[in-house]
Amino acid sequence: MATLEINDLHVTVEADNATKEILRGVDLTVKQGETHAIMGPNGSGKSTLAYSLAGHPKYTVTGGTVTLDGEDVLAMTVDERARAGLFLAMQYPVEVPGVSVSNFLRTSATAIRGEAPKLRTWVKEVREAMERLSMDPAFAERNVNEGFSGGEKKRHEILQLELLKPHIAILDETDSGLDVDALRVVSEGVNRVREGGDVGTLLITHYTRILRYIKPDFVHVFAAGRIAESGGAELADKLEEEGYESYVKGGASA
C-alpha cells in the first residue's frame, strides 16, 4: 500500500537575487487509491508543491520531510523518485527535439520497469492506450512535444500516466487550456488509471470544472504556501460559489 507523506514542507526559490519562501509548512498524506484535489488561487504555491515533490532543481527544500512508503523522497534524485513510483504530469512539458514519442515512451517504460518491455506486447499496449485517448497513431512518430497543441501535450502526459503506472500521480493543472471534449478524454484517461486502484492521485487545479469528471475523495484549499482548509468533495462546491477571495485575504493578513 503506497503512501506519500508530506510533513511540514518548506520550499524556497531564488528569484531576482532574493530567496523567496513559497511553501510554508505543507502537511498532506496521500494513500494508494485516494484522490486529493489541491485547489487554490494563482501564486499560492500549488505548482511549486508538484515540482518540489518531483525534485525540480529550481526549488530548495529548507525544511520538512517527504516519504514514499517510509523512504526519504527528498534524498532521491529526480529519476530515482520516478522509479520509486512518483509521476508528475506537467502543465508545460518541454519539447525534446529529435526524440520521437515512441522512442521516448519505450525508454521511459524501460527505465521505470527495470527492463525493456517485450516489443510485441509493447507495440500493442501503446497502440491501445493511444486509441483510448483518441490519439492518431502517427502521433508516435512525432518528436516529443514539438509542435503539439495544448490538448496534445496533455493527452501525451496522460498516455505516459497510463503506460508508466505510478503509485503516486501528481497532475499539475492538467485541465488548463483544454476544451470540453479534450477535458473529457483526458479525465477518462485519469479515471481509468484510478479505477485500477493502485494509484494515489494528487490533482492540482485552479478550477472546479475538472472535478465534475474526476471525483476527488478530499479537497484541499491551498493559500499562501500551505493548506488552508481541507474537506470532502463538498468543499469544491463551496469554492465554485464563493471563489478564493476569503483565502487570499486571509493569506495576506497572515
Partner 1 sequence: MADNTPAGSTTDGAITVGQPADARVSAAPSYDVADFPVPHGREEEWRFTPLERLRGLHDGTAEATGGLRVEVTAPDGVTVQTVDRTDPRVGRAGKPVDRVAAQAYSSFEKASVVSIPKEAILTEPVRIAVHGEGGTVYGHQVVEIGAFAEAVVVIEHTGDTTMAANVEYLVGDGAKLTVVSVQDWDDTAVHAAQHTALIGRDATFKSVVVTLGGDLVRLHPRVVYGAPGGEAELYGLYFTDEGQHQEHRLFIDHDTPHCRSNVAYKGALQGQDAHAVWIGDVLIRAAAEGTDTYELNRNLVLTDGARVDSVPNLEIETGEIVGAGHASATGRFDDEQLFYLQSRGMRADDARRLVVRGFFGELVQQIGLADLEERLMAKIDAELEASVG
- Which residues here bind partner 1, judged by CB under 8 A? 54-57, 77-79, 81-83, 87-88, 90, 93-100, 103-104, 107-108, 111-112, 143, 160, 164
In the complex, least distance from residue 145 CB atom to partner 1, rounded to whole angstroms: 9
Nearer to partner 1, 58 or 215 (CB): 58
- Residue number with CB closer to partner 1 (7 or 108): 108
3-state secondary structure of 212: helix
| DSSP letter for each residue of 43-95 | TSSHHHHHHHHHT-TTEEEEEEEEEETTEEGGGS-HHHHHHHTEEEE-SSPPP
Contact between 160 and 108 under an 8 Å Cβ cutoff? The reply is: yes
Mention every residue, 6+ apart, whose C-beta is less than 8 A from residue 88. Answer: 50, 51, 53, 54, 170, 172
In the complex, minimum distance from the CB of residue 219 to partner 1, in angstroms, rounded to a whole number: 26
- Minimum distance from CB of 58 to partner 1 (Å)? 8
Q: How far is the CB of 93 from partner 1 (least distance, A)?
A: 6
Q: Looking at beta carbons only, is 108 or 191 nearer to partner 1? A: 108
Among the listed residues 157, 196, 142, the one whose alpha carbon sits nearest the alpha carbon of residue 54: 157
- Least separation in angstroms between residue 140's CB and partner 1 is 14
Tell the residue number behind the cell numbers 514514499, with chain if given. Answer: 68
Alpha-carbon separation of residue 225 from 6, 106, 121, 144, 232 (angstroms) = 14, 37, 44, 32, 20
Give whichever of 77 and 121 is closer to partner 1, judged by the CB atom.
Answer: 77
